[in-house]
Amino acid sequence: MVGRKNQEEREVMKVHEYGDCSFCQGEVKEARVELDYRYKGRLYVFQNVPTGVCQQCGEKYLTARIAKEIEKKIQKKKWAKTIAVPVEVFTEEASV
Ligand SMILES: [Zn+2]
């Protein structure tokens, strides 16, 4: 067992070097975007992150290097700011 990382914690992002999109085969191009990053059950927002974005479906991809950087920053617990996020359980209402 050589330091194999628990992949289950990444709910949104798949980590890989940018190739074609694994969902739609679209072209993935790098852009600086805002990322919602879930780690150990908590939500973090990172801005200005170099991220692969599928030009067709918008799926986002991180390289292993950037994902590692993000997790390092999470462990440091130093933030530019903290925001409150509203949470609501969705129920359908009869009004149309
Ligand atoms: Zn795609």
Distance CA 63, CA 14 (A): 8
DSSP label at residue 37: E
Tell me the CA–centroid distance for residue 55 and ligand 1, in Å. Answer: 7
Helix (H) or strand (E) holding 25: none
State both tokens at 60: 């986002």
Tell me the CA–centroid distance for residue 72 and ligand 1, in Å. Answer: 28
Q: pLDDT for 40-81, tens place per residue?
A: 999 999 999 999 999 999 999 999 899 999 999 999 999 999
Give the chain's domains with CATH numbers.
8-76 (3.10.20.860)
State both tokens at 44: 């973090």
Which of 69, 75, 23, 77 has the alpha carbon at shortest distance from 50?
69
Which of 6, 76, 17, 16 has the alpha carbon at shortest distance from 41?
6
Tell me the CA–centroid distance for residue 34 and ligand 1, in Å. Answer: 18
pLDDT number for residue 22: 92
What integer best gives the mean pLDDT of the chain?
84
pLDDT number for residue 26: 95
